[in-house]
Structure 1
Amino acid sequence: MERAKLHRNVVALGLVSLFTDLSSEMIYPLLPVFLTVTLGAGPAALGLIEGVAETTASLLKLFSGAWSDRSGRKKPLVLVGYGLSTLARPLAGFATGWGHILAVRFCDRIGKGVRTSPRDALVAAYVPAARRGKAFGLQRAMDHLGAVLGPVAAFLLLAGGISLRSVFLLSIVPGLAAVAVLAFLVRDVPATVAAPRAGSVLDRDVLSPEFRRYLLLVGLFTLGNASDAFLILRAVDAGVPARYVPLLWGAFHVVKSSLSVPAGALSDRIPRKWVVAAGWCVYAACYAAFSVVRGAAATVAVFLLYGLYAAACEGAERAMVADFVPADRRGTAFGWFHLVTGICALPASVLFGLLWNAYGAAAAFGVSAGLALLAAALLLLLRPEKYERIR
């Protein structure tokens, strides 16, 4: 592999993420408004839907990752997962109650759960350790670029007179494009790491003491990391017109897409924990600001600043996972990482919604900010010499 370039498999997987997020983000930023205005649901229902959806995905990510290690093949599971989500998402256009949205999100997240860990292992398989941060940064940047194009597409369709439900149905088009790119352009893992690997998901090769400590801190942070759907709800409450929500969501992802690769590359040059901890501090600052700012303009400014957190963390967090384990155990390791984040996502979103209902938005955002700061401080206390980047 040329040092100046990332492997074409990494780029192809980035395109898959781009088209998938284009499809998903034609729907996702509109769901809070659709739920509360059209279907009459409240913040607690939104928290339940998002918590159940993400926890379902994360439970499956562990077992799909472990299965991909045992079988030695990643691509079939990735293809099945993307295909299922592509077919499930447009069904939101037929929903008549919030329970229907829960069912659609549940099926969509099953697909995400099946595909994510094997996909991340596929990315790691085609880059050396010194370029993992950049590779995962590119994958996240392409993902966020799709999240920019999706809301723009939704906005243009709505501005052209297309109904909200029809926008949901049309999301199948980019989803099918993602499946086609995956089927024809992405190769499975190289033969050097494709040998089946027997073992339990509790294997010591995966759950080393250093990796367990890292997962505990990721879990602590995630307990304060409620669904981004609440940020959309906060923006609408602050006075952002509902018709501009897709554009706000798109601008938010412009920030994430433009900075993900530089942040990932930075984590290749300095200890990754510094990059991750800095991102968690940005998260805490933004959530603290959400608890006190008033007015549409200030809320939009904080919303865009919040994109710095995701850009700093998403690639670096995944690269850290690959640093801890050998190549033939990465599917299982990514499964554990996604399981921890998903298991904590359910109480995070549900409790955030309950706090919002009982004590107001300021209390909910303040508690989340405090948990993020605590997790960042503890992450910095980890000894850098404990990290061993496995090549």
Structure 2
Amino acid sequence: MGSEMVHSLLPVLLAGVLGASALTIGLIEGAAEALVLVIKVFSGYLSDAIGRRKPLVLLGYGLAAAVKPLFPLADSAATVATARLLDRFGKGIRGAPRDALVGDLAPAEIRGACFGLRQSMDTVGAVVGPLLAVGLMWLFANNIQTVLWFAVIPGILAVLLLLKVPEPKDAQHRPARVPLSREGLAGLGAAFWRLAALGALISLARFSEAFLVLRASHQGLPLTFIPLVLVVMSVVYTLTAYPAGRLSDSISRPALLAIGMAVLVAADVALALANGYVFLFVGIALWGLHMGLTQGILATMIADVAPKAHRGTAFGVFNLLSGGALLVTSGLAGWLWDQYSPSAAFWMGASVAVMAVVASLHFSSRTLKAANR
């Protein structure tokens, strides 16, 4: 909730208040998300090594809560970038251990449903946060800095709630780690590396959601209602992630991924052609549907193919590769936006998404079943 309150207003703060270009916003967002995924490698690896997930998850959420006040205090794009990177550093610390913890606690036969539920619950905050931002923007006459102060409160509450989350009972019996070397990482298995390559391609097709906010602003959506962009996306995401996860327990997960990427193609086309609010919000809703059909399922597939003792490392490595791809595509989208047009960025995304559809269809479900632990 707190992070999405910030995320829904950050592009407007950067572009409207601080005068940053679309390229600058794209690079900040891409660098922030890439940092998350780099840090996840080491936090996931460390959670395997010490045999405990929860302390790292708690540290990550605590750091994110601690840096939230930097956003309303920022007076330059550089300060915002620093705050954003620190916030994402906290997310990086908690991300892989949290997902590995879900994988440890989830029964294999309903693993897809468990990850889908986790994804849906996470996205509830992504709905409520921007809605609060809309109400607070109205209440405080579009004073973004004042509204951003309210994002501090959910971060503190999240840390307090986390104290109730258990470690798995067999945590202390987990083997230590794989060496962070070429030979050691090969122990994650060929199926994992094929999945990691597919994940990187999917990330290349999906640049930062900040561009959805910028597209809405470009279409003339009033500043007060800008956070509704992420609300619409997140409502669809929330409503579809759990059903998609449950469905993936009984049918081909790669096939669902392919459907999700086909939906992303449709979303990009709608956003590229948008000349008013109808196509704009159709594209945003389709973007949320594609997230619901892909993100939880990708996490489930990682848990399927990774050795149980090394799930933290596997989630970290997977997200590192995806983060590098996200940095590249967000920067490229910003450059196309500045040099050509907003539509050019979305046409690029649609082209890569088509390739991801084909790659998903070629990823064998039998690979997952053979590797499932």
Superposed pair shares fold, TM > 0.5: yes
Tell me how far 1:76 sits from its aligned partner: 0.5
Q: CA deviation at 1:173?
A: 0.7
Residue matched to 2:223? 242
In the alignment, does 2:366 pair up with 1:390? no
CA contact (8 A) 2:266 2:286 kept: no
- Is 1:371 aligned to residue 315 of structure 2? no
User: 1:1-391 alignment to 2 at 5 Å?
Assistant: 22-161=1-140, 163-183=143-163, 185-191=164-170, 194-201=173-180, 202=182, 203=184, 206-387=187-368, 388-391=370-373
Taking the aligned partners of 1:209 and 1:304, their CA distance within structure 2 comes to 35
Q: Give distance in 2, aligned partners of 1:77 and 1:204.
A: 22
- Whole-Å Cα distance in 1 between the matches of residues 79 and 173 of structure 2? 40
TM-aligned CA distance change 1:228 to 1:210, over 3 Å:
same
Alpha-carbon distance change, 303 to 358 in structure 1, aligned in 2, over 3 angstroms:
same
What is the distance in 2 between the residues matched to 1:61 and 1:192?
Answer: 19
User: Quick one: distance in 2 between partners of 1:240 and 1:83?
Assistant: 34
Task: State how far apart, in whole Å, the 1-side matches of 2:93 and 2:215 are.
Answer: 32
Q: Which amino acid aligns with 2:256?
A: V
Q: SS of the counterpart of 1:264?
A: helix
What one-letter code is carried by the residue in structure 2 that aligns with 1:346? Answer: L
Counterpart residue type for residue 128 of structure 2: L
1:195 CA displacement: 2.6
- Report deviation, 1:89: 2.2
- % identical equivalent positions: 38
Aligned-partner Cα distance in 2 for 1:227–1:91: 21
Aligned length: 369
Q: Distance in 2 between matches of 1:307 and 1:258?
A: 9
The one-letter code matched in structure 2 to 1:182 is L
2:75 is paired with a residue whose SS is coil
- What is the Cα-based RMSD across aligned positions, in Å? 1.5
Q: How far, CA to CA, are the matches of 2:130 and 2:367 in structure 1?
A: 42
Quote the Cα distance in structure 1 between the aligned partners of 2:187 and 2:216. 41
Q: 1:252: Cα distance to partner? A: 1.9
Q: Any stretches of 5+ residues in structure 2 without a counterpart?
A: none
Does the 8 Å CA contact 1:136/1:264 hold for their aligned counterparts?
yes
* Alpha-carbon offset, residue 204 of structure 1: 5.1
- Aligned partners of 2:39 and 2:93 also within 8 Å: yes
The letter for the 1-side match of 2:145 is R
Say if 1:194 and 1:229 are closer, same or farther in 2 by CA, change over 3 A. farther
Question: 1:129, 1:46 → 2: CA distance?
Answer: 40
Distance 1:240 1:264, change over 3 A: same
* Separation (CA, whole Å) in 2 of partners of 1:152 and 1:206: 45
Whether the 8 Å contact between 2:37 and 2:316 is mirrored in structure 1 is: yes
CA displacement at 1:63 relative to structure 2: 0.8
TM-score normalized with structure 2 length: 0.95
CA deviations 1:87-134 (Å, max 9, x no partner) are 112311011111111000110011011100000011111112121111
Distance 2:288 2:8 in 1: 15
Letter in 2 for 1:103: T
> How far, CA to CA, are the matches of 1:82 and 1:197 in structure 2?
24
> Per-residue CA shift, 1:274-293, capped at 9, x if unaligned?
11111111111111221112
Q: Distance in 1 between matches of 2:168 and 2:161?
A: 16
Tell me the CA shift for residue 383 of structure 1: 2.7
Give 1:205 shift. 6.3
Cα pair 2:270 2:282 within 8 Å, conserved: no
Mapped to 1, the partners of 2:356 and 2:256 lie a distance apart of: 13
Within 2, Cα distance between the matches of 1:206 and 1:242?
50
The one-letter amino acid of 2:272's match is S
